[in-house]
Every structure is written in structure tokens, then in C-alpha cells.
Structure 1
């Protein structure tokens, strides 16, 4: 009876055989670039993102059309235990002819790295193909450099020059440097 009381429960073997992992990305970097969710339909396959040569119509975005909807939302933000900043934010803007969404991840690890991942979605609602579908263009840009790489190419390398994602985007854009750009299109039926 005493041995029976000390025997582990049957489920403990499964528990003991599991591997635990403590590795995680403490910078909260996300590769998320948006997802598509549509009502299921037997008539049409679900739309998918396809590589494209189409580009976001920046001229249309700068037109003086009235903004019908604008919102900005911080999804998460961390000061990385006083070692920098990580922030994921979303901006949404709708005008009569188009809509635009910016999902921006900003990372600054002081003395180590800066990373700016921007995913832009754009849809010109005035342009439809013969089937009546509209096209959403998704553009993802990634800038990711160490402080040493910034210094080596003469770019600003003081953390104070990158206080937030908006100023960092301006500084990194002006400083040039490596940028990875991926562009995809999604055709949506009305």
C-alpha cells in the first residue's frame, strides 16, 4: 500500500516526457503581415496573396480628398526593461476613392539593433476588373541593422535619433541603407 501511494499517477509519464522550451524572442518581433478571412463559399475559392508588380498609388493617398475614417491603435509596446523599445501599431485611413492601412513594428535595442517592419495595405475602390473584383496591394518593407552597420555607412547611430517609430522611419528612409521589399496582391469579389 505504501509503494502504491508513492507511485506517480499514470499521466505523469506523459508530463515528464514533454520538452519545455524557454527560448523566446524577448524583443516581441512579429512577422505578421495580415491575414484574410472570408465567409466560406462553394462557388469561389478563398482569395490568396500573390506576388505582384502592382504598387501602392501614393499619388492617390496624397490627394486632398476628405478623410472619412482615421484611427490609430497601439497593439503593444514595451521598453524592453529599459534597453530600448518595441512597438506594434496600426493606422487606418479611408477616403472616398481608397483605403489604406499601415501596420508598423518598431524595435530599438540600444547599442545593438534597430528594426522597422512596415506592412501597408492599399485598395483603390474605384478600380474593378470585369468580374467586379477589387485589388488590395500589400507592401512589406523591412529595415534591420545593427548600430555598427549604421555607423559604418555613416547613418545616425545615436539612440536619441530614433526616439519613436515615426521619427525612426524618417531617419532610416533619409539615411538609405538596405531595405527588403515584398509586394503582393489580393483580388476580392464584392
Structure 2
């Protein structure tokens, strides 16, 4: 067997053969494919799937007359489906998704995506913050005037009350609650996944983030999908969707809640607490909540 050979070049020289050159769009597409990560896990009655992919492209990569390309293009898709929303979050992950499927009912599922979440953002009115002091509001809004430059009002905080997309699933009201005592146990975690669906820093005036995470234990699973909003000096809001199920049962519990408070009522808290969604939610009063039982049709 002959030894590998190498070609010597003068110091600092670097050559690329014509045949080895790749167009820029090929390199970009290759990077996109490599960024995609799909995970799945089955336990009891369920199959759990998590998809993590690249951020949405900054521009369309198809010709104007390429109808097939337009159908596949995520920018075009979001433009069509969210045509009334004049602006989209800075960081948008169009293919990130969390899915819970019933194994014996393959068409039944609950899923969470950025597109469906953004469909529930108000496209007709500005955020409905209520600040106790007019002086506080006038001071805070000095840095927020740029949001009023858009031609039409919309909720630039991207607040959504989205609680997941149901397919072939029956939803009914229930007084049952998530078994928090079971979740407090130190059971081994067999599967864990976390996704960010969209995020925006509100022109450096805060944070809006929609994320999803799941953990599966031997006898149960728990999903937390959270919208966290912080408008500096003005408001904090958390919309949580919690899903709990026992892996040997076919019905699951979904709890949705809205918690929020004016920033002036949180002055006793450190900024580290306010800026951490995992801490601040416990300090916010519940404004709205509802619980449902979900089961396959």
C-alpha cells in the first residue's frame, strides 16, 4: 500500500482546483442540513419528538417565478400565513417543533410550533400594559417610541396565548390537576429536549421568548412551553402551558396560565430574578388559567 501523498506549495500559497469550488448556496444549504437535529423517544403509550433546526434565512433563495420554491420557502410561508403581522421576531426558528404522539393512535398528536404561536399575536392593537403612574409610563415609553413607527399597530411584544395544536384529539374541561408531587420525585430522566421557537430583544428594551422543553421519566412525562416577556421598567409577563401524562394512560392534563405584573411592583426583587423566567414566574400573580383533559379521538 502506498503512503498518502501531499503536494507542496510555497509558504502562504493556497490553491483550489476549479472542480472543487462550490457555489455559495450549496455551502449554505449544507450548513442548514447539518444544523438540523431530530430526537425521538417512546415510552408507554406515547412517542415524543423534538426537532431543532436553523434560524430562518434572511432572504428567499429561489427565483421570483419559481412557484415550487416559493411553496417550500419558509420566508414565503411565514409571509403568507402571517400577512397581517407587520414584523416578525428577530430570532425565528421556523422548523423547531415539539410533538407528543399517541402510539396506538398515529394521527393523534399535540404539537408546538413558532408559526402557530405567532398566528395568535394581535395584529390590530398595541400591548395593553397598565402602568400605575403616568410619570412612570412617560419615562419608560421614551425608549419605546420606535415601536410606533410601524404603519399599523400590532402587539410588538409577540405575546401569544397559544397552548399547542391538536390533531384528532378530544379536549374537555376538567377539575383534575397536574400531579406535582409525582414531578417532585427524583425519578431518572430518560429523555430530555429543549427548543426555542422564537425570541426578540424588543430593540434592546427587554426580551420576548417562546420556548418548549420536555422530560420523560419511567412512569410519566412533563412538558413546559413558556412565553416570557420583559419590557424593561414597565412589565413582566409569563404564559405557561404545562402538559402532564402518565405513560401507561391515554389521557393527559394540559394547564395554561397567564401571570403578569407591573415592574414597579417587583422592585423588591433582584434583577437576576426578574430576568430569569425560571424564577420570576413564581412571583407573578395569576391573571387567567384553564385546565383541560386531552385524549385521542
TM-score by length of 2: 0.46
Aligned to 1:66: 188
Counterpart-to-counterpart distance in 2, 1:176 and 1:108: 12
Name the residue aligned to 1:36: 166
Superposed CA offset, 1:25-75 (max 9, x none): 11111111012124xxxxxxxx32211101111122222322111011111
Aligned pairs for 1:1-190 (under 5 A) are 22-38=152-168, 47-127=169-249, 134-148=250-264, 150=265, 156=268, 159-169=271-281, 173=282, 175=283, 177-188=285-296
Provide the aligned length of Structure 1 versus Structure 2: 149
Structure number having the greater helix percentage = 2
Instruction: Report the 3-state secondary structure (helix = DSSP H, G, I; strand = E; otherwise coil) of the residue aligned with 1:48.
Output: strand
- Shift of the alpha carbon at 1:23? 2.1
Q: Are residues 98 and 164 of structure 1, via their aligned partners in 2, closer, same or farther at CA, if it must alter by over 3 Å? A: same
Going from structure 1 to structure 2, the CA distance change for 1:178 and 1:67 (only over 3 Å counts) comes to closer
Distance in structure 1 (CA, Å) of the matches to 2:161 and 2:290: 13
Q: Which fold has the larger relative contact order, with Cα–Cα distance below 8 Å and residues 6 or more apart in sequence?
A: 1
**Partners of 1:106 and 1:165 within 8 A in 2:** yes
Gaps spanning 5+ residues in structure 1: where? Answer: 1-18, 39-46, 128-133
Shift in Å, 1:187: 1.8
Question: Aligned-pair RMSD on alpha carbons?
Answer: 2.3
* TM-score (normalizing by structure 1): 0.69
Distance in 2 of aligned mates of 1:167 and 1:67:
22
